[in-house]
Amino acid sequence: MPQVSMTVRMDSQLKTIFEALCSEFGMSVNTAINVFARTVVQRRCIPFEIRADEKKTVAERMAAFRNMREWAENGNTPELGLDEINDEINKVRSKK
């Protein structure tokens, strides 16, 4: 399947923090966004709770993100390595 480009606009401070976290995770922003998109497609839902009724600071959102990461590291979500993610991509591509 041919790859296409996509532009994502976000606040510069959020971008800086997101890039730093992705680097800590050992992946690029591009990879992180692709992992997110694949997870949404596979699960057919957003893989975390979204609420409009709360206004949180960046620090509070970062704390929530760290909690989600800890939750995942404790085995509460299926863990896929890069090779496994690429295998899943290739499976989807071969079906089309």
Please report the pLDDT score of residue 19 as a whole number.
92
Structure tokens at 34: 């692709």
Q: How many Å from the N-terminal Cα to the C-terminal Cα in the chain?
A: 8
Q: Residue 66: inside a domain, yes or no?
A: no
Res 52 pLDDT > 60: no
Please state, for a pLDDT cut of 90, what percent of the chain lies above it.
7
Assess if residue 60 is contained within a domain. no
Query: Could you tell me which residue, 71 or 25, shows the higher pLDDT?
Result: 25
What total number of domains does the chain contain?
A: 1
State the burial class of residue 94 (Cβ atoms within 10 Å of its Cβ: 0-12, 13-18, 19+). Answer: exposed
Residue appearing with tokens 């699960």: 43
Complete DSSP assignment for 59-78: HHHHHHHHHHHHHIIIIIS-
For residue 40, is it within any domain?
Answer: yes
Average pLDDT on 65-88 reads 72
69 in a structural domain: no
63 domain-assigned: no
**Domain region containing 30:** 12-52+80-95
Enter the tokens of residue 64.
Answer: 């929530």
